[in-house]
Amino acid sequence: MGNMKLTLKIWRQAGPSAKGAMVDYPVTDISEDMSFLEMLDVLNDKLVREGQEPVAFDHDCREGICGACSLFIDGRPHGPSRHITTCQLHMRKFKDGDVIHVEPWRSGSFPIIKDLVVDRGAFDRIQAAGGFVSVNTNGNLVDANAMPIPKPESDKAFDAAACIGCGACVAACPNSSAMLFVAAKVSQYALLPQGRPEAKERALNMVEQMDKEGFGNCSNIGACEIECPKDISLENIARLNREYLGASVAKE
């Protein structure tokens, strides 16, 4: 058991159409070795014992890779540290007596389901619109090494593919734009020869779905890049801009 005392200001909202509000919760005995979510576990344990509703929040792997956890902590997505997700944030980043605001991702395209849980289905629908290579399962494909891929290109594709789809880019963006997410996916495939045949259609279709979902427009503010837990670069957005421009001009 630790000895930090904190005041949490947490967004509580009973359901999708309910009215929400920030509610204060004092927590005690917080250890600096706890992760932020373990600190919330402590709070929830207390709330259940007191007969209150625990705070709902999304989380799963708790090791920074599944992208389930979200939370706008202390005014920033995934909290104050860079290149980590909320589940990797540890309480040693905070001081005894701190007041910490905890809010859900705020975007019209990510409707709140309950408390801190939002619906990020828009990302799946964008992916379904073109985020794939159209290859069926087949045991007789060409050998994996038949087509060498220059390491620098392959590395860049990987950098883009590291996206965990958490939505921090949308949460951080003052415009609530999903461009970094879409750009990461488009870039990964645009950089690999396997993805080139469908590159044009992919860019057009994924952006179309992105627009349909009601995300805002990118105005190159750059907050997404700073807050991205996987350090996805703005370079990818430029690549999407190029791909889309080329595709739009060339489309018959």
Partner 1 sequence: MSILDAKVPAGPIEKKWSEHKDHIRLVNPANKRRIDIIVVGTGLAGASAASSLAEMGYNVKSFCYQDSSRRAHSIAAQGGINAAKNYPNDGDSIYRLFYDTLKGGDYRARESNTWRLAEVSASIIDQCVAQGVPFARDYGGLLDNRSFGGALVSRTFYARGQTGQQLLLGAYSALMRQVGKGKVKMYDRHEMQDLVVVDGKARGIIARNLVTGELERHGAHAVLLCTGGYGNVFFLSTNAMGSNVTAAWKAHKRGAYMANPCYTQIHPTCIPVSGDHQSKLTLMSESLRNDGRIWVPKKLEDAKAIQEGKKKGSDIAEDDRDYYLERRYPSFGNLVPRDVASRAAKERCDAGFGVNKTGEAVYLDFASAIERYGKLEANVNHIDNPSAEKIRELGMKVVSEKYGNLFDMYENIVGENAYVHAMKIYPAVHYTMGGLWVDYNLQSTVPGMYVLGEANFSDHGANRLGASALMQGLADGYFILPYTIADQLSGEIRTGPIKTDTAEFVEAEKSVRERIDKFFSTKGTEPVDHFHKRLGKVMWEKCGMARNAKGLQEGIEEIRKIREDFWANVRVPGKPNELNQELEKAGRVADFLELGELMCKDALIRNESCGGHFREEYQTEEGEALRDDANYAFVGAWEWTGEPGNDVLHKEKLEFEALKLSQRSYK
Partner 2 sequence: MAQQGLFGTSLAKKYWMALTGIFLITFLVVHAGINAMIFFNDGGVTFNTWAHFMGTNLIIRTMEIVLFLGLILHVVDGLMLWKQNRAARPTDYAFAKHNANSKWYSRSMGILGTLILLFLIVHLWHFWVKTRHIAGTMEPYGVDAAGQENLFALMADVFSNPLIVVVYVLGCFSLFWHLLHGFRSAFQSLGLNHKKYNGAIAFLGAAFAIIVPLLFASMPVAMYLGWVK
Q: Which residues bind partner 2 (CB under 8 A)?
A: 9, 11, 22, 72, 74-76, 80, 101, 103, 106-109, 172, 174-177, 204-205, 207-208, 210-212, 214-223, 226-227, 234-235, 237-245, 248-249, 251
CA distance 183 to 123: 12
Closest to partner 1 by CB, 54 vs 221, is 54
Q: Shortest distance, CB of residue 235 to partner 2, whole angstroms?
A: 5
Question: Which does residue 217 bind out of partner 2, partner 1, none, counting CB within 5 to 8 angstroms by kind?
Answer: partner 2
CA distance 119 to 106: 11
Q: Shortest distance, CB of residue 85 to partner 1, whole angstroms?
A: 10
CA distance 221 to 174: 8
CA distance 10 to 153: 43
CA distance 222 to 214: 20
Q: What is the 3-state secondary structure (H, E, C) of the chain?
A: CCCEEEEEEEEECCCCCCCCEEEEEEEEEECCCCEHHHHHHHHHHHHHHCCCCCCCCCCCCCCCCCCCCCCEECCEECCCCCCCCHHHCEHHHCCCCCEEEEECCCCCCCCEEECCEECCHHHHHHHHCCCCCCCCCCCCCCCCCCCCCCHHHHHHHHHHHCCCCCCHHHHHCCCCECHHHHHHHHHHHHHCHHHHHHHHHHHHHHHHHHHHCCCECCCCCCHHHHHCCCCCCCHHHHHHHHHHHHHHHHCC
Question: Which does residue 172 bind out of partner 1, partner 2, none, counting CB within 5 to 8 angstroms by kind?
Answer: partner 2
Closest to partner 1 by CB, 62 vs 101, is 62
Closest to partner 1 by CB, 145 vs 174, is 145
Q: Shortest distance, CB of residue 101 to partner 2, whole angstroms?
A: 4
Closest to partner 2 by CB, 161 vs 226, is 226
Question: Which does residue 139 bind out of partner 1, partner 2, none, counting CB within 5 to 8 angstroms by kind?
Answer: partner 1
Strand 4-12 versus strand 99-103 pairing type: parallel
Closest to partner 1 by CB, 185 vs 224, is 185
Closest to partner 1 by CB, 47 vs 221, is 47
Question: Which does residue 74 bind out of partner 2, partner 1, none, counting CB within 5 to 8 angstroms by kind?
Answer: partner 2
Q: In this structure, what token pair is assigned to residue 208?
A: 């179309």
Q: Shortest distance, CB of residue 142 to partner 1, whole angstroms?
A: 7
Question: Which does residue 9 bind out of partner 1, partner 2, none, counting CB within 5 to 8 angstroms by kind?
Answer: partner 2
Closest to partner 2 by CB, 10 vs 163, is 10
Question: Which does residue 210 bind out of partner 2, partner 1, none, counting CB within 5 to 8 angstroms by kind?
Answer: partner 2
Question: Which does residue 11 bind out of partner 1, partner 2, none, counting CB within 5 to 8 angstroms by kind?
Answer: partner 2
